Structure 1
Amino acid sequence: MKQIEVTILGQSYRLGCPEGGEAQLLAAVDTVDREMSAIRDAGKVKARERMAVLAALNLAYQLAERPAAPAAGSATSPAPADAELQALITRIDAALGDDGRLL
Structure 2
Amino acid sequence: MTTPNHLDITLFGREYRLACPPEQQAALLQAVALVDSKMQEVAGKGRQISVDRAAIMAAVTLAHELLQSQNGSSSPTASVDTMESRRKVDAMVQRVDAAIETHQNALF
Determine the structure 2 residue equivalent to 1:101: none
Worse-superposed segment, 24-33 or 12-21: 12-21
Determine the structure 1 residue equivalent to 2:15: 12
Determine the structure 2 residue equivalent to 1:55: 58
Q: Deviations over 1:3-42 (max 9, x none)?
A: 0100011100000112300111000000000000011111
Unaligned residue ranges in structure 2 (runs of 5+): 72-80, 84-108
Conservation of the 8 A alpha-carbon contact between 1:39 and 1:51: yes
Give, as a single letter, the amino acid of the residue that structure 2 aligns with 1:35.
K
Q: Which has the higher contact order (CA 8 A, sep 6+)?
A: 2
Between Structure 1 and Structure 2, how many residues are aligned? 71
TM-score w.r.t. length of structure 1: 0.61
Taking the aligned partners of 1:70 and 1:3, their CA distance within structure 2 comes to 26
TM-score w.r.t. length of structure 2: 0.58
Unaligned residue ranges in structure 1 (runs of 5+): 72-103
How far residue 70 of structure 1 moved from its aligned partner, in angstroms, is: 9.0
Identical amino acids, percent of aligned pairs: 32
What does 1:73-88 correspond to in 2, within 5 Å? none
Q: Which has the higher helix share?
A: 2
What does 1:31-46 correspond to in 2, within 5 Å? 31-44=34-47, 46=49
Bigger-Rg structure (1/2)? 1
Q: Deviations over 1:37-74 (max 9, x none)?
A: 01111124512111110000000011111146698xxx
